[in-house]
Amino acid sequence: MRETTSKRAHLITGGFPPGSSAGHDHDYARLSLLRLFAESEVAAFVANDFADIERWLPLCRFLVTYVAGPYPDAGECRAIRRWLEEGGRWLALHGTSGGRAVRVEGLRQRRTVKSEHHALLGSFFLTHPPICTIRVEVKAPDHPLTRGLGGSFEVEDEPYFIELEDPGSTRILLTADYGESASSSAVGALYGKDTSLQPNGRTRVLGYSREVGKGAVAYCALGHCHNPAIREGRAMDPREGTLSSFRGSWEKGAFIAFLRNAVSWGVGA
């Protein structure tokens, strides 16, 4: 990785189909992340999906993705992998663990289709119950990404169910026990079984890191946000309440501290 790329980042935020919010306030997330880049004097390139990513990665050291639908195809995954192996670092947030989803007869939820980018990212989104309060446990307080977060913190967010693709090469950073109120009756019908549960049968992974060659990937499932206009016309779970603006983890000091740590980690500060 060339020294001139160290203070540059490529930020991808967007939904699918192109131009769609896909239920998320990408403008809010984009501006929030750009402000954090500016704090550390990190120059940023911005995109809405992974198209032409091979043009931008050689110009930067740090890739950040906050997406709801877009995912890299096989060729784009190869470009990302080469870049990571040469020393790049990728912070993947929230819906990046999703991707193409297909309808399942008789169910409101869609089933995510596993593809090349899940293997590269290291996780696979299964589903999430309605927004709830989550007690996040910090499992690796000595990691650069979790520095200063303490032993645990509380946020309101979507309780993601994600399957780790290669647990042996994954360092778990954040976990949560959602409790009985955040169970998902659909996960078995969608996937056969709940592969997000850890061996104790209670906790699920919310954040992790993994090395790829000289580089690394870090993922954090937190970060849902929406506004009333975005949620209009979408099928709502009655347990989610009104269509008010929701910022969730973005308004919590611990999540912002995690993101600030991530910027330093990403650019090698």
- Pick the more confident residue, 227 or 67: 67
**Cβ-based neighbour number of residue 86 at 10 Å:** 16
Distance CA 158, CA 128 (A): 6
* Mean pLDDT estimate for the chain: 92
CA 17 to chain centre: 19
List the domain range (segments joined by +) for residue 225: 3-267
ω before 18 within 30° of 0 (cis)? no
DSSP state of 74: H
- Banded model confidence at residue 240, pLDDT cuts 50, 70, 90: low
Contact indicator for 153, 254 with CB cutoff of 8 Å: yes
**Cβ-based neighbour number of residue 96 at 10 Å:** 28
DSSP state of 115: -
The model's pTM is: 0.94
Considering all CA atoms of the chain, what is the largest pairwise distance in Å, rounded to the nearest integer?
53
Name the phi and psi angles at 125, rounded to 5. Answer: -75, 130
Q: Which residue has the tokens 């993922």?
A: 219
- Banded model confidence at residue 189, pLDDT cuts 50, 70, 90: confident
| pLDDT tens digits, one per residue of 134-167 | 999 999 999 999 999 999 999 999 999 999 999 9
Distance CA 39, CA 94 (A): 22
What are the residues whose beta carbons fall under 8 Å from the beta carbon of 23, sequence distance 6 or more? 15, 68, 226, 230, 231, 234
Here the tokens at position 137 are 């446990």
What pLDDT was estimated at residue 28?
Answer: 97
What pLDDT was estimated at residue 69?
Answer: 95
Q: Which residue has the tokens 């060729």?
A: 75
Average pLDDT rounded to a whole number, residues 184-208: 91
Name the phi and psi angles at 161, rounded to 5. Answer: -105, 110
Give me the number of domains the chain comprises: 1
Residue 164, SS3 per DSSP = strand
Please give the share of the chain, as a percent, with pLDDT higher than 90.
Answer: 80
What pLDDT was estimated at residue 105?
Answer: 87
- Here the CATH number for the domain that contains residue 137 is 3.40.50.880
